[in-house]
Each structure stands twice: as C-alpha cells, then as structure tokens.
Amino acid sequence: MEADITSQAVGLASNTDFSIVKLFIRADIIVKSVIILLIASSIYSWAIIFDKYKLFKKINKSSDEFEEKFWKSRSAETFYNNLPSNINDPMANVFKNSMQTIVKSRSRSSISEKLPSILETNIEKEMNAIEKNYTFLATVGSTAPFIGLFGTVWGIMNSFQSIAISRNTSLAIVAPGIAEALFATALGLLAAIPAVVAYNKFSSDSKRYLQKLENFSKRFISIV
C-alpha cells in the first residue's frame, strides 16, 4: 500500500515538472512534430536575419564607395577597364554587365535605346539575389502562429481525453497537456514575430537600395 502511494507521488511529481525538456518529452508525436517544425523554422529565420543584416551593411558601404569612385573617374570606359575582376557589389555588377553589352554593341547606333532595358534587367537580377529567402520569412510570419495553434488544439484534445479516460477532473490530470499546448502556441509566436519584423525591415531596406540603383542607372544613361 505504501509502495503504491509512493509511486503515485513520484508520478504526480513528474507530471508537475513544467520545464521545456519535460514538456517536449511528455508531448505526443503530433505536438512534438509541431514543436520541432517551429524550432527549425525559427532557427532558419534567425540565420536569414543575420545574413541579410550583414549583407545590407556590406552593400550599402561598398555601393557608396563604388559610386564615389565612379563619379570621380574621367570616363565610364576608363573606369570599366580599371575595374577589379573580383569586385562583388550589386551596383558594380550592374555597371559592369551593362558596360559589357555596350562594348560589344559599340557599332550599333541603337545602344542608347537598348541601354535602359539592359540596366533594368541587370538591376532586377541583382535585386532577386538580394531578396532571396524573403518568401520564407513571410511564410513563417504568416503561418507559424497557426501551426502553433494547431499544436495547442491537439494538446487540449489530449487533455480532455485524459479526463474521459481517468474520469478525474483534477487539474493535475489536465495541466501537463494544457502546458504542452500553450508551449506550442508560444513557440509559434516566437517564430512568427521576429520573421515578420525582419521581413518588413528588409523589404524597406530593399526598396531604398533599389531606389539607389535606379538613381545610378538614370545618371549613367545620361552620360553614355
């Protein structure tokens, strides 16, 4: 009799452990899958956030330096011929790729008509590279709360099943399942909020950088 009471006490103590690890271990396969998916999405989102932060910090500085050197040069062709082959800057790439087309088409009188579309194509190519993975951030920001909510609903369903099976409405019976359910909701918000904030910020940064490239292209057209 005393052994049974001791074992019940140990089991109850185990169920009242609400640490993150215990919540995950006690969860069923569906809730565990939701938790793993949300954690993986959050980790990848943060990897993208740090990558984009470093990218914009780098290209804003390198583009300003490139533009300053460009307008101090004697001519576009001279600057193009002295341009390092290993330069890795979106504005420099737009200029370099456009100049390659101009040099190849030197004998054609229609180059002035084609240049705007050439620049537009090169700008679009560079912006596509800059905006890579934006869709993932937007997807996580919009779907993560609902994925977490799904885990929450499933966990609460399990809690009600525990009540039906044990015929015991004690809070100690349903508390673990509810805690697991709320943990899934918290993870959904934890993944979604940074993704939404980052997406909005980097979208704004992209628009500003696009405007910088377009301003450069207009001035470049005017001197060709």
Q: What is the pLDDT of residues 14-26, one digit of tens each?
A: 455 556 667 667 7
- Residue 5 domain-assigned (yes or no): no
Find where tokens 């943060």 sit. 46
- The number of folded domains in the chain is 1
Give the separation between CA 46 and CA 49, rounded to whole angstroms. 5
Q: What is the pTM of this model?
A: 0.79
What whole-number distance in Å separates Cα of residue 145 and Cα of residue 15? 26
Assigned domain for 6 exists = no
Where in the sequence is the domain holding 102, given as residue range(s)? 22-223
Buried b (16+ CB within 10 A) or exposed e, 39-54: eebbebbeebbeebee
One-letter amino acid identity for 68? E
pLDDT tens across 93-149, in order? Answer: 998 888 888 777 665 556 767 788 888 999 999 999 999 999 999 999 999 999 999
Q: Residue 144 domain-assigned?
A: yes
